[in-house]
Structure 1
Amino acid sequence: MPSRQGLPVAEVIDRREGPYGEVVLRRRGEQYEIIANGCFLMDTADGRSERLLIQAALDELAVPGPSVLIGGLGVGFSLAHAAAEPRWGRIAVAEREGAIIDWHRAGPLGAFSAGALDDPRVEVLHTDLVAYLASTEDRYDALCLDIDNGPDWTVGEENDALYGPVGLANAAARLRPGGVLAVWSARPSTAFERALRDAGFTDVRTEEIAVERGVPDAVHLARRAA
């Protein structure tokens, strides 16, 4: 879990119990943090890798007005970056925690999603991403997934399947031919690269983003065969 040493003491802004357990919004100095069941998820200190998640997928697409599914909403960096790019067509974001949606609609995280929830291209899906990928018939040109600290470091056991054969098959089924899968990770994962290739994805690669301390953040990229 990322170290919080040397930072101001955290102040709890809101705490909710939901169907997936406890989710907490904390403020630490000028920054906000989301904690799920005691596990640090993300904060507002540096959104470079979350923005890269969106930009790297868009740069791989040549179709006009491509659609994207972002999972999940988090602190809003990914969604804000997508909404700031006029090339995107439909922008859907899947978020299972109603509290997080509330913190953007009527709370302090709205400053970080920068009004993106009011963009007419944006649709907020209050749903569990894993269940949605397994059940929907919707298809997208890009899936940009950031619901865990990475494939090797999931928030809960229910998310583990997303990164295995069944979950990756569901992700591929939600992509149009030639579509791009981008997965954020708190560290690069060679095992996940192998899993992507084993699942039939092509053009598998990893972009790394240096952080102040520790191993770099990573965005894993892969393409569904045309």
Structure 2
Amino acid sequence: MTDLPPVVDRAAFEAEVARLRTREKAHTREGDALAAQRRRLPMVEVPADTLLTGPDGPTTLLDAFEGRRQLILYYFMWHAGHPAAAQCEGCTWCSSQVRELSYLHSRDITYAIVAQGPYPESARYHEFMGWTMPWYAAAGEPLETLLTGRHVGMMHLISYVRDADRVFETWWTTRRGVEQVDNSYRLMDLTVFGRQEPHEDSPAGWPRTWPVDGHLLKTDGRPIPQWPRLAAGHSDDLGS
């Protein structure tokens, strides 16, 4: 039987929420301050003609802006030749969070994904998952150029801005930094049991059944979001 928090009356409950709210507001203000500092970072130029592969064949980093001033690219780890069930559960989790793009577009921002591998396989995965964001692929020298100084084969989230036909990188992150795109974990953090992961600071007796060991975002051997697609009759054949 899972333990639960102590039961109190409404007045005591609201008093504890009010104490927590002070810290929550400070956290929000610190997030605003970080965003302000992020807007003041310098930038570095990257080759605007760096080649990507898209649905219509070869294209460029500049083309990926789709005419907008800003671009956010998520770099999806790709295991070439592997079936859908063996593709990156972390990148699948991140990509499944980003659905509605119109708010980004209203601020002159394009959001897209670059798979780190061959286009045909990953494009089939994009279709299988029912994602609608723009999807590209890059490998070899173009990918190394885009990820200069960073580990190719790891998830990255990178922001760009363009000035006419020149492109500049303005910010990047990796590992847990990519939680910026997530809403599921943020919602879990609002619940009494949280993410249910063993590293969390939770009271004794709270469930901690999701070990961070490569299965954190999988159930029954697959990335979690694949199951509803299979149930809906989507084919996971990647042609590999």
Q: Normalised by the size of structure 1, how large is the TM-score?
A: 0.28
More helix by share: 2
| Greater RCO, 1 or 2 (C-alpha within 8 Å, sep 6+) | 2
Q: Normalised by the size of structure 2, how large is the TM-score?
A: 0.26
